[in-house]
Structure 1
């Protein structure tokens, strides 16, 4: 099978490259960054040509506009990448009877309940990022293509900018630090998300259309997450808990966005690692790459 991966230079894209090395399938990695084949996912005809020239049967869309705060003042670009581009990829997959695996977010939920969010819950995003990601889901479904939409949360890896790497730097350079404790969810190691996508592909279960939730197992606040990062990194910063209101932001974030992963585990027969175990793995990788 020929597989197209967009956003190859991002956190998940890098991990998908690891998956490809052990795959019997042929992968084409695209990104706007240097060193990758270029593909304008906002241009329907350009996507059609890429898919036709490479006989693509499956697209894994790792590309997105992910700057949650900036999205509030940049609706046009956020909507272009998170909604219109996703719809374009879905439309082309519909035309060739292919499948789209698309990554979405916990931010489609309001986050005002205290139990894990299920796939069929009512959505009510609080900001532009969540609204454009939800619109992307709806655009994909409206095309009638075969799709697997995976909502994830708090993504991190050894690649790019993320909370783990930011906290490693801050806890190494500061004696004290304040981190919010009233936003609760679950971190997701990009390597684990790529692994389940790889499993779905390699076991040929791409026909199981639907929306799924994936993060690591367990629950924590950003404060808990920061404490674990600090300790596992060997830093001695005094991290103190605080309320979100102490850090004014252009967008209101969900207070509780733990995802219920029952569906993805039972449908695809997959065991998900606990968040601290995966964090240890990532931090070891970061140490080995320095």
Structure 2
């Protein structure tokens, strides 16, 4: 990257934000605003901070990600996931700088038989997906330069996620039941951050593709059960205990928010437009565990 780019990163401690700080921080002038310094439910506060900092790029991985909790607090979910991204988009457009924002597979209802492409009809099943879709629409309505990156099944060696939960439960319990009829691509936050760095480098080098919505997940597919199996294999390889895994249907594990059965996202558009390629999900898992 030529010259110091001033980047405003919204969210300090989330999985993607943490990985972005590790990978992007050494390359740019990074200003990080976490929940202790910026209340995303207060649009005026967002505007004041952006106008004071005048960044050359805004990145927003911050979100209300508690899928089941969102069902009970829709106003909070929409404030953070829908209204705040729209305000960021307005301020980015006012400064004439790009906004990179992250969205989710949950904007789809999961009824499609094949991986989703960016132009497929949306139909979120719950409040979380509805609020994230509303955030996408708010950004698009502004019309400034933006990348909306839809990802899925995000995990890291830190924070709260399926990987860390499984590592703990698999060592604590003799038997564990895991949903086997939801399909998707587990996606390492480190890989998302690395892809984001590549996108920024291409933009700064004058090699940008079209702005808009893109799918960004690891390649390949598995179920939550398959993901748990892969985690268990690594525990066993390290000489650690591992529970006996039992596959179950989603109907046997009811949750407040309904999940899409098909969370597979076709990421070929990102590769064609921006030249950013994603590693297989299993390879990314091994890379994540190697860094931990």
- In the superposition, the TM-score normalised over structure 1's length comes to 0.93
Find the aligned partners of 1:52 and 1:113 in 2 and give their Cα distance.
42
Give deviations 1:2-29, integer Å, cap 9, x for gaps: 1100112100000001122441x21111
1:80-119 correspondence runs (5 A): 80-119=79-118
1:11 alignment partner, one of 8, 15, 34: 15
1:272 alignment partner, one of 263, 278, 282: 278
Give deviations 1:56-87, integer Å, cap 9, x for gaps: 12110010000111111110100010001111
- In the superposition, the TM-score normalised over structure 2's length comes to 0.93
Find the aligned partners of 1:110 and 1:51 in 2 and give their Cα distance.
34
The gaps in structure 1 that reach 5 residues or longer are none
* Compared CA separation, residues 139 and 76, structure 1 to 2 (3 A): same
Find the aligned partners of 1:284 and 1:115 in 2 and give their Cα distance.
32
Give deviations 1:120-159, integer Å, cap 9, x for gaps: 0000000000000000000111112211000000000012
Kindly indicate whether residue 35 of structure 2 is the aligned counterpart of residue 61 of structure 1.
no
Kindly indicate whether residue 179 of structure 2 is the aligned counterpart of residue 180 of structure 1.
yes
Aligned-residue Cα RMSD (Å) equals 1.4
1:88-237 correspondence runs (5 A): 88-204=87-203, 208-234=210-236, 235-237=241-243
Other structure's SS at 1:233 match: helix
Find the aligned partners of 1:7 and 1:206 in 2 and give their Cα distance.
25
CA contact (8 A) 2:209 2:274 kept: no
Find the aligned partners of 2:172 and 2:291 in 1 and give their Cα distance.
21
CA contact (8 A) 1:3 1:57 kept: yes
Q: What is the Cα deviation at residue 174 of structure 1? A: 0.7
Q: What is the Cα deviation at residue 96 of structure 1? A: 1.2
CA contact (8 A) 1:41 1:88 kept: no
Other structure's SS at 1:203 match: helix
Other structure's SS at 2:117 match: coil
Q: Look up the match of 1:252.
A: 258
CA contact (8 A) 1:41 1:89 kept: no
Kindly indicate whether residue 51 of structure 2 is the aligned counterpart of residue 49 of structure 1.
no
CA contact (8 A) 1:99 1:206 kept: no
Other structure's SS at 2:54 match: coil
CA contact (8 A) 2:199 2:276 kept: no
Q: What is the Cα deviation at residue 207 of structure 1? A: 7.0
Find the aligned partners of 1:68 and 1:135 in 2 and give their Cα distance.
15
CA contact (8 A) 2:89 2:139 kept: yes
